[in-house]
Amino acid sequence: MSSDDEDVPLAVPLQASGAGKPAQAPAPGAAAPAAPPTPVPVTLITGYLGAGKTTLVNHVLTAKHGYRCAVLLNEIADSADIERALVKEPEGRDASPLAEWAELENGCICCSAKNDMVRALEALMQQRSRFDYVLIETTGLANPGPVAAALWTDEQLESSVCLDCIVTVVDGRHVERQLGAPRPAGAINEAQQQVAFADVVLLNKVDLAGEEQLARVEGTIRGMNAEAAILRCQRCEIDLARILNTGIYSAVMQGLQAAGAEPGSGHDSRVGTVTILLPGRPLDLPRLRHWLDALLWEQEQEQEQGQGQGQGSEGAAAGAAGGAAGAATAAAAAPVIFRIKGLLHVEGSERKHILQGVHEIYDVVEGPAWAPGEDRRSKVVLIGRGLDRRALERGLHSCLAPL
């Protein structure tokens, strides 16, 4: 492993591609340089097998919303042609035109195909005048976390695209079984992961489930991801303003201002949400960044090492195999943070600061000014598996500015 692989990554805002380069004044009489193009928003559509992702893509492509959409389809090679045939190319002048297609045929977007996705987006950006919105539909077993992180930080994509919303489609009749399906030690339930990363969950096929079951499903989803909006629908027919050009990753998180920390404490091995409301003291931003670096990057290293050790070779000795099994079990029990969001009161600033994170990548950016008399307590929401509330509270409290 190179030393670069071991360094703690720094989150780079998509808008900051010119950071660090000195500005050059135009020559006398020369025209001012053109403003950089506005990044193209991307909606990432994920969901378990058969939930209705392609139905949602069809709805977006045929509805009247004014966007020209490009679609990236990620499917296993044997089924990619079938999947594409299911997506209807719009007909008639009133339909939203399908600008571009890019098929990724070599597996999950979260694995080797992630690089293909980046290359496909780079190619699309060469023809950006033909579209103004991008949809990425992942395979049913994809982990959306690395994809979202790639959209956020890939150098070749900086300033050309911006992650706008992660949408998870779930089957209202079958999602309970999918969320509860057991996995071997060291493995994460894909359906749970997709719900945990979502900004919006479409509870689809509600006509096939009863009210009692739907209410139970909604409760389960809220227990895993209390911050996601849940929209009931049939055939994914929803108000598309809820998932297109939402500005979720650039706007102040209004939901973070709504309530304090939920009850409960201690370590929970399930996927869930922990909300921490800090006292009125401001946060020391460098100290917070240091804590986040350690928390997010070290957990990623532990997960990778545990998974790697869990894949013992056939020729390993019995003792080594036992150690690998123990490492896999430890990886399964170790806390994993999928998403982190925060509204922060930072020392020395009269502006709100917004924290957003996906996997090991995070960023803290300035927001609008605090209003006179506004409650300035910081609030942080963490979504993940096996979260230890007390340890997270201790860590965040250690980031408060000294009295």
DSSP annotation string for 121-182: HHHHHTTGGG-SEEEEEPPTT--HHHHHHHHHH-GGGTTTEEEEEEEEEEETTTHHHHHH--
Q: Which residue has the tokens 């959209």?
A: 151
- Angle at the Cα of 271 from the Cα atoms of 285 and 234, rounded to 5 degrees: 110
Strand-strand pairing, 336-345 and 379-385: antiparallel
35-75: per-residue pLDDT in tens?
667 888 999 999 988 899 989 988 888 888 888 888 887 65
The pLDDT of residue 117: 72
What sign has the CA pseudo-torsion 48, 54, 57, 58?
negative
Tell me if 336 sits within 8 A of 188, measured CB to CB.
yes
**Superfamily covering domain 36-242:** P-loop containing nucleotide triphosphate hydrolases (3.40.50.300)
Q: Which residues pair with 230 in a beta bridge?
A: 201
CATH architecture of 259-309+323-397: 2-Layer Sandwich (3.30)
The pLDDT of residue 58: 86
pLDDT band at 269 (very low <50, low <70, confident <90, very high): low
**What count of other Cβ atoms lies within 10 Å of the Cβ of residue 335?**
20
Domain boundaries, the chain: 36-242, 259-309+323-397
Check if 36-242 and 259-309+323-397 are the same fold.
Answer: no
Q: How far apart are alpha carbons 328 and 326 in whole angstroms?
A: 5
Lowest mean pLDDT among 259-263, 356-360, 382-386, 398-402: 259-263
For 187-225, give one letter per residue: b (16+ CB within 10 A) or e: ebbbbbbbbbbbbbbbbbbbeebeeeebeebeebbbebb
The pLDDT of residue 214: 97
pLDDT of 109 strictly over 50: no
236-251: per-residue pLDDT in tens?
999 999 999 998 876 5
Tokens describing residue 262: 């939920």
Nearest to 221 by CA among 240, 243, 199: 199
pLDDT of 328 strictly over 60: no
Q: What's this model's pTM, rounded to 2 decimal places?
A: 0.70
